[in-house]
Amino acid sequence: MQNLSAVKILHLDTNHTLLWEQLEQAGFTNEADFISTKQEVENKIENYHGIVIRSRFKIDANFIDKAKNLQFIARVGAGLESIDCDYALSKNINLIAAPEGNRNAVGEHALGMILSLFNKLNNADKEVKSGHWNRESNRGSELDGKTVGIIGYGNMGKSFAKKLRGFEVEVLCYDILPNVGDENAKQVSLHELQQKADVLSLHIPWTPETDKMVNAEFINQFEKPFWFINTARGKSVVTADLVAALQSGKVLGAGLDVLEYEKLSFETLFEGEKPKAFEYLLQANNVLLTPHIAGWTFESKEKLAQVIVDKILKMYRTT
């Protein structure tokens, strides 16, 4: 095993303290830089063997070229879309992510969104606090008896399906990988899912294949009006097309933890002027919005850090 004291790790974002502490206890040399610009980090990155980052900036080919001694990039999160993965792998740089760390949080959040939308909890709460006691207009729907369709059946999709076991629902899943269905969800074709689903929940990464996937054509292929949940990536949805479907009744309601307009850092919302489609989402009573927090719990913060530590240690123990 490599002498770990010779391995210098640069931490570019704050994380749970256990990440730093356990790496230090294992013998690694930790350094932190939470304020330098990307260019300033590039100027010194050749001095480091590992990077720990959340979503502060994109790690592109130019950055990787300057990181001449880099052995790994660890992202404390589920996805790696902020990293030029193909180029990093071509340079023999190990890529580490932690989808296991926040899958439970995402599953719970998706379920919470469905129950809130079905029972109009956000609207009813707002009305009561405004002095209105409207019972009939806030009559809800029950999840039992519905068919829930999950697109993307990896860590997040499986966690969500497991949460649904307490309900009398049919759970269908679609994934580009074969044979991922289990006791919690039946794997079907995309066509069958679109024919049967009353609820659609996305649990897919953002890739060229999933970019703008949920558009007017995709939505109109559903046989029935449906409820839509997105705790995955905002850029997989064409918001203007979703709004049109909400206005027509094709989409009965939407729970959106992520938005098309988010910057890649996920820390701020708008890349430019506030779009008209977003103005509609802000006013719609059947739309529930949260600020990319589905995987953002106190428990997941610790779990994410622990998964990253474990994977870094495993990497060096096997080299």
Helices (H) and strands (E) in the chain, counts: 12, 12
Residue 84 · residue 64 · CB < 8 Å: yes
Q: Count the Cβ atoms, other than its own, within 10 Å of residue 122.
A: 17
Residue 260 · residue 239 · CB < 8 Å: yes
Residue 190 · residue 174 · CB < 8 Å: yes
Residue 203 · residue 150 · CB < 8 Å: yes
Contacts of residue 292, Cβ cutoff 8 Å, sequence gap at least 6: 257, 258, 262, 266
Which of 273, 279, 302, 317 is catalytic? The answer is 273
Residue 164 backbone dihedrals phi, psi, to 5 degrees: -85, -5
Which of 292, 299, 302, 317 is catalytic? The answer is 292
Which of 16, 109, 233, 260 is catalytic? The answer is 233
- Beta strands 29-32 and 72-75: pairing type? unpaired
Q: Which of 76, 67, 78, 72 is nearest to 95 (CA)?
A: 72
Q: Is 233 a catalytic residue?
A: yes
Q: Is 21 a catalytic residue?
A: no
3-state helix, strand, coil in the chain (%, to 5): 40, 15, 40
Both tokens of 248, joined, read 């027509």
Q: Is 109 a catalytic residue?
A: no
Both tokens of 159, joined, read 């966690």
Cite the active site residues: 233, 273, 292
